[in-house]
Amino acid sequence: MSNISLSRNEKKALLRILDKAKSIEEISKETGLSIDQARSALERLYAKGLVEKKIKETTIVKLKKENQEYRKIGLPEKRLLELLKEKPLSIKEINKLFGREATPAIGALKRKAAIEIIEEGGIKKVKIIRNPEEIRIIEQEFIEKLPIELEKIKDLDLLAYKNLEKRKIIELETRKEYYYLGNKKAKRIVETEEFNKEYEEKLTPEMLRYGTWRNKEFRPYEIHSPVKKARVGRHHLLRVFIRKIREILLSLGFEEMQGPIINPEFWNFDALFVPQDHPAREMQDTFYLDMYTSNIDEAIFKKVDKMHRKGLGKGKGWGIPLDKDKSRRLLPRTHTTVLSARTLNKLDLSTLPRKFFAIGRVYRNESLDWKHLFDLHQIEGIVVGENLSLKHLIGYLKEIYKKLGYDKIKVKPSFFPFTEPSAEVYVYVKEKDQWIELGGSGILRPEVTKPLLGKPIPVLAWGLGLERIIMLKEGIRDIRKIYEPELGEAMYREIKWQ
Amino acid sequence: MAIIEINSAELVGMINKNSKKKYSKKEILDKLNELGVDVELEIREGEEIFIIEVFPNRPDLLSKHGIARALRLFLGTDKPKTYRARKSNYRIIIDESVRNVRPFTACAVVKGLRLSNEDIRDIIILQEKLHQTLCRNRRKAAIGIYPMEKIKWPITYKALKPEKIRFKPLGINKEMNGIEILEMHPTGQEYAGLLEGKNKYPIFIDAKNNILSMPPIINSEDTGKITEETRDVFIEVSGFDPEFLNKVLSIIVTSLIDMGGILYEVEMNYPYSALKGKKKYKSPDLTMEKLVIDLREVKKLVGVGISEREAVRLLERMGIIYRNKIAYIPPYRIDIFSHADIAEEIAISYGYSNIEGELPELATIGAMDNKHRIIEMISDICIGMGLLEVKNYSLINREEALRTSKKRPIRIINAKNSNYNTLRPSLLASILNTLKRWMHEEYPQRIFEIGEVFIRKEEYDGPMKDEWIENNIAEPLMLGIGIAGSNEDFSRAKIIVETMLGILGKKAEYKPLKDKRFINGRAARIILNGKDIGIIGELHPEIIEYYGLEMPISFIEIDLEKII
């Protein structure tokens, strides 16, 4: 009991509803609190289990909207009576003055036996037949009391109500109102010392300035009251993951690469020894623009073209020369490996060994569904150095995946057009008790590295879909949810990968 | 990727035939995985099947005999064998008329086959899968297989006017001419594009003037259908590159030899030079390709300590013979180019799982890229101001692009989904798409996105990069901010800009902006050191309405390239 703490407003309200249920409006009037303050105090009392809340329906009588003016200018019979007090009027004149209201006005006064209709020289005239001061228009008096509760209408008002209802001047409305009544617990609580103690609501700057806080006691709060969540600014899930993965790769000594999203086929495919008739280059897999690059460096183009035609010195190539028009065609990159190719082409060999990585957008001509995006992110890493081997690639993969949270990995032979040997990476996912494919890797073909680097220095390469690892780590089933989350998810999602 | 299915008992039988060691299903499954194909066992209608996914570099594995051959070598049951053709008098005459239509063909005869229904199915599947993958839907090459008994040698390969070609195409018991076949026969309709623009169509025709086929479209119903009774077959591959055609033919004939057939050569007679520059030669050419390989280079690339003898043994298990610094590549392999490929063969044979990973001692220094540093800094400032980060697809539809930007949209010409066929020229569409998705959520909503937009070179006034100049497309990094709510307005948006630029140590000026996307008189250009860096304003009701939104929105877009 003592842990129920009440604010000053709550106390004020509670004291008023110990014996009689009251509405918010009544409490507001009695305590001087605003309607909002009263409502919030009563609701909090209700939440704290100190009051009963009852809904009460009342029927209210009110003037119809279109008849509001009768309150100001008076009912037609009232206005007619005023005119007749001056002099009798002909029916014709009354019709002219009152229009549609003429007949009801005359009728109403006739029923009160206040007037009669006489004929003078063939003209029908209306004149008062009683002492004007004695004529009461009770309907007018009733209108001035509106709105009023139906139950509270008495005596003459009842008669007026019936007349006005018949004439459809007034209408009924049902109002719902909450009534609050303090319960037994409330009655006990108001007797406690705690309740009657004078608490300070707020610590104010003034109290601090003048030191008056010293003899005050502050009201203890209801610490269990529920609150709403704050509206927050927050990084997107992709950014959270990009940061984590970047941190891992930076810690392993990788430098971040950067480069254009739009690339000519030359850099996206030719330079990676993907033949020009390779199925991956077809329309159903790769997006194309109807624009062409205006320049491919002639020296590198010649080297790559020679590699496609003839291959390495002792090896062989595709036997097909590059079609330069095709090489020049632009596309949104299909993999971040294009960044690796451009980086290697610019690399100063005297700075070796070097490591690079990129996390960037790539595009595939896919339709959009729960498994596929056409616009997604790829993580890519390369290690450039003499004497590197498949053994070292596996060494790096183990290290990187360990940092990604996968202690057990398996590599399997695979195929990518630009790596040889190639390996697929499988990670053991404890929660699922399953091996799951998570990334591809390999050593760039000498047919790729020779034209770019001048000699076939081994380049270990590794790639992984960012969305894929997000789905796996965060338990997201529909890949679109990463880009199209609900507002609540975007703001309050728990990041499971810590 | 191509998938082939083989009955498990059948494959187990083929592997264990004449083998001292008997392998179980499970062992075979594991070994196939080690070999580098993806395999699963599946039970379908009571039948247990190996579902095998074959990478595009290994078309020789597209038949059960191809799989069995590779696996028996891998297990050491078989040694690499040399495939040879017997001498014969079969002749093909290639006519000058095909030169500009479909100039080359590679041919062979295989006899003594005893085909079961499964074998026929396997041959047809191999032919189909090769057509789909290696032959690029018959564009690079088309394969025809014919029973020998109805053929009168020699065969001529020539081209005729389509209306002069008359035969019964496969599956139809009625003669049709070349034009009718392309217009009416289902296979004709499917591949008609491959003969488009040709005024003559190629045919194989025998000495009795029976048309065997019209490549790359269809065989004849009378002479081009193999059955269980077929013992001897004639095979041709037609196309444009004699070397390549010989490869495709090699894959098929080696499979037929493995089925028990005996290969016979066919003499090719060209009026112009074909395989290896020759006009007259014997086909197929099954000589093993020789690659000079330095085994030290190979071993260095794999990184495991093995002796030369061991390397030779490992290569043998992949069907490759290594002798005197030369690797002999089996004729059915198309994927061996240089020492790196030999290294992979050795690694697979050694077993990837047997290679211990090792981190080399490479001292390198990690470094974050400057562009990404800027992104992180700007996004942190935005978060600090209580903005929520969003990410949208960088493709939008064309109409949206036209409504949300004055720039000429850059179109994707072949997008499967027309809702996403244009590179976004501004972040406005992205911001509005998110707000639209959240239109029934609580307001105010204050969001931002950082990302590239795509603008033609001549329409972009910021600093250019070399690649952008070459491509004629700039990809500036933009910051887009949208604030939506009944009290969100220009001055609240301006607070955001001023605060952010203040943190970056910059002070902007504002000049009135006339722009249909904004309410007139409530939009401005943001100017820094005399240069436009962005725009700010209250969005015009028309654009809000276009997105179906019902809330005032103010929008800011700042070109980060210009403030870095």
**SS3 of residue B58 by DSSP:** coil
Q: Do B467 and A260 touch (CB under 8 A)?
A: yes
Q: Do A264 and B471 touch (CB under 8 A)?
A: yes
- Of all residues in chain B, the one with the smallest CA distance to A417 is B57
> Which spans in A56-176 are helix H?
69-73, 76-86, 91-98, 102-111, 138-143, 155-166
Q: Do A287 and B339 touch (CB under 8 A)?
A: no
CB A341 within 8 A of CB A267: yes
More confident site: B472 or A104? B472
The yes/no answer to whether this complex scores an ipTM above 0.85 is yes
Counting other chains too, the contacts that A484-491 makes at CB distance below 8 Å and 24 or more residues apart are A484/B437, A485/A237, A486/B438, A486/B441, A487/B438, A487/B441, A487/B442, A487/B445, A488/B441, A490/A234, A490/A236, A490/B388, A490/B390, A491/A229, A491/A231, A491/A232, A491/A234, A491/B388
B386 interaction partners in chain A (CB closer than 8 Å) = 231-233
CATH number attached to the domain at A8-58+176-215 = 1.10.10.10
Q: Which CATH class is domain A237-492?
A: alpha beta
How far is residue B342's CA from residue B561's CA, in Å, rounded to a whole number?
A: 47
Q: Do A289 and B412 touch (CB under 8 A)?
A: yes
What letter would DSSP give residue B110? E
For a pLDDT cut of 70, what percent of chain B falls above it?
100
How far is residue A268's CA from residue A190's CA, in Å, rounded to a whole number?
A: 80
Q: What does pLDDT average to over chain A?
A: 91
How distant, in Å, are the alpha carbons of A79, A84, A127, A140, A215 from that of A130? 17, 11, 9, 19, 77
Q: Provide mean pLDDT across the span A147-167.
A: 85
Q: Do B360 and A385 touch (CB under 8 A)?
A: yes
Least confident piece of the model among A210-224, A354-368, B442-456? A210-224
User: Is residue B528 pLDDT above 70, yes or no?
Assistant: yes
Chain B interface test: which of A228, A232, A287, A437 (most B C-beta within 10 Å): A287
Nearest to B383 among A235, A288, A423 (CB): A235
- Of all residues in chain B, the one with the smallest CA distance to A442 is B344
A441 interaction partners in chain B (CB closer than 8 Å) = none
Q: In chain B, how long is the greatest CA-to-CA distance?
A: 93
Q: Do A264 and B473 touch (CB under 8 A)?
A: no
A363 interaction partners in chain B (CB closer than 8 Å) = 395
Q: Do B344 and A420 touch (CB under 8 A)?
A: yes
User: Is residue A8 pLDDT above 90, yes or no?
Assistant: no
Rounded to the nearest angstrom, the minimum Cα separation between A311 and chain B is 7
Nearest to A262 among B136, B243, B471 (CB): B471
Rounded to the nearest angstrom, the minimum Cα separation between B409 and chain A is 11
Chain A interface test: which of B391, B432, B475, B551 (most A C-beta within 10 Å): B391
Nearest to B390 among A375, A391, A490 (CB): A490
Residue B105, φ and ψ in degrees, nearest 5: -150, 155
Rounded to the nearest angstrom, the minimum Cα separation between A345 and chain B is 14
Structure-block tokens of residue B3: 């998938």
B305 interaction partners in chain A (CB closer than 8 Å) = none
Nearest to B413 among A289, A368, A390 (CB): A289
User: Is residue A104 pLDDT above 90, yes or no?
Assistant: no
- For chain B, domains (ranges, CATH) are 2-74 (3.30.56.10), 91-286 (3.50.40.10), 290-352 (3.30.56.10), 370-562 (3.30.930.10)
Rounded to the nearest angstrom, the minimum Cα separation between A354 and chain B is 6
Banded pLDDT at B106 (limits 50, 70, 90) = very high
Nearest to B371 among A254, A258, A293 (CB): A258
pLDDT of residue B227: 83
- Of all residues in chain B, the one with the smallest CA distance to A261 is B475
Task: Give CA angle at B387 (B383, B392), nearest 5°.
Answer: 100
CA quadruple A143, A148, A151, A154: dihedral positive or negative? negative
Count Cα atoms within 13 angstroms, Cβ side, for A475: 7
User: Is residue A2 pLDDT above 60, yes or no?
Assistant: no
- Of all residues in chain B, the one with the smallest CA distance to A389 is B301
- Which residue type occupies A1? M
Residues B196-255 pLDDT 10s:
989 999 999 999 999 999 999 999 988 878 888 889 999 999 999 999 999 999 999 999
CB A442 within 8 A of CB A421: yes
B383 interaction partners in chain A (CB closer than 8 Å) = 233-235
Query: DSSP strand E in B59-209: where?
Result: 91-94, 104-111, 141-147, 155-160, 166-167, 176-177, 201-205
Q: How many CB atoms lie within 10 A of CB A278?
A: 15
Q: Do B393 and A375 touch (CB under 8 A)?
A: yes
Rounded to the nearest angstrom, the minimum Cα separation between A276 and chain B is 12
Tell me, rounded to whole angstroms, the distance of Cα B497 from its chain centroid.
46
How far is residue B356's CA from residue A26's CA, in Å, rounded to a whole number?
A: 84
pLDDT of residue A223: 84
Q: Do B389 and A236 touch (CB under 8 A)?
A: yes
Rounded to the nearest angstrom, the minimum Cα separation between B157 and chain A is 25
Nearest to A235 among B56, B379, B394 (CB): B379
Tell me: cis bond preceding B242? Omega within 30 of 0 counts: no
- Which residue type occupies A105? A
How far is residue A154's CA from residue A159's CA, in Å, rounded to a whole number?
A: 9
How far is residue B390's CA from residue B397's CA, in Å, rounded to a whole number?
A: 19
CATH 3.30.930.10 region(s) of chain A?
237-492
- Which residue type occupies A57? E
Residue A169, φ and ψ in degrees, nearest 5: -85, -30
pLDDT of residue B30: 93
Chain A interface test: which of B414, B421, B450 (most A C-beta within 10 Å): B414
pLDDT of residue A341: 97
Banded pLDDT at A1 (limits 50, 70, 90) = very low
CATH number attached to the domain at A65-170 = 1.10.10
Rounded to the nearest angstrom, the minimum Cα separation between A318 and chain B is 9
pLDDT of residue A193: 82
Residues with Cβ within 8 Å of residue A1, at least 6 apart in sequence: A185, A188, A189, A192
- Of all residues in chain B, the one with the smallest CA distance to A398 is B357
Q: Do B353 and A233 touch (CB under 8 A)?
A: no
pLDDT of residue B194: 93
Tell me: cis bond preceding A353? Omega within 30 of 0 counts: yes
Quick one: CA torsion of A104, A106, A109, A110, rounded to 10 degrees? -110
How far is residue A374's CA from residue A286's CA, in Å, rounded to a whole number?
A: 10
How far is residue A6's CA from residue A48's CA, in Å, rounded to a whole number?
A: 9
More confident site: B374 or A69? B374
> Could you tell me the end-to-end alpha-carbon distance of chain A, in angstroms, rounded to an integer?
42
pLDDT of residue A162: 87
A259 interaction partners in chain B (CB closer than 8 Å) = 467
Residues A288-330 pLDDT 10s:
999 999 989 999 999 999 999 999 877 788 888 999 999 999 9
Rounded to the nearest angstrom, the minimum Cα separation between A44 and chain B is 24
More confident site: A15 or B557? B557
Residues with Cβ within 8 Å of residue B455, at least 6 apart in sequence: B407, B410, B425, B473, B474, B475, B476
Banded pLDDT at A67 (limits 50, 70, 90) = confident
Q: Do A394 and B358 touch (CB under 8 A)?
A: yes
A239 interaction partners in chain B (CB closer than 8 Å) = 379, 389, 391
Chain B interface test: which of A316, A363, A389, A401 (most B C-beta within 10 Å): A389
Beta-strand relationship, B445-452 and B388-389: parallel
Residues B126-183 pLDDT 10s:
999 999 989 989 999 999 999 998 899 999 999 999 999 999 999 888 999 999 999 9
How far is residue A406's CA from residue A395's CA, in Å, rounded to a whole number?
A: 14
B314 interaction partners in chain A (CB closer than 8 Å) = none
CB pairs under 8 A between A and B: 271
Structure-block tokens of residue A33: 């609190």
Chain B interface test: which of A254, A379, A390, A460 (most B C-beta within 10 Å): A390
Structure-block tokens of residue B6: 């083989």
A385 interaction partners in chain B (CB closer than 8 Å) = 360, 362
User: Is residue B117 pLDDT above 60, yes or no?
Assistant: yes
For a pLDDT cut of 90, what percent of chain B falls above it?
87
Residues B483-516 pLDDT 10s:
999 999 999 999 999 999 999 999 999 999 999 9
How far is residue A448's CA from residue A382's CA, in Å, rounded to a whole number?
A: 13
Residues B344-353 pLDDT 10s:
999 999 999 9
- Of all residues in chain A, the one with the smallest CA distance to B393 is A375
Nearest to B19 by CA among B68, B81, B64: B68
Banded pLDDT at A3 (limits 50, 70, 90) = low
Rounded to the nearest angstrom, the minimum Cα separation between A177 and chain B is 28
Which H or E element spans position B292?
Answer: strand B289-292
Q: Do A233 and B243 touch (CB under 8 A)?
A: no
How far is residue A51's CA from residue A43's CA, in Å, rounded to a whole number?
A: 9
Q: Do B360 and A414 touch (CB under 8 A)?
A: no
Rounded to the nearest angstrom, the minimum Cα separation between A224 and chain B is 25
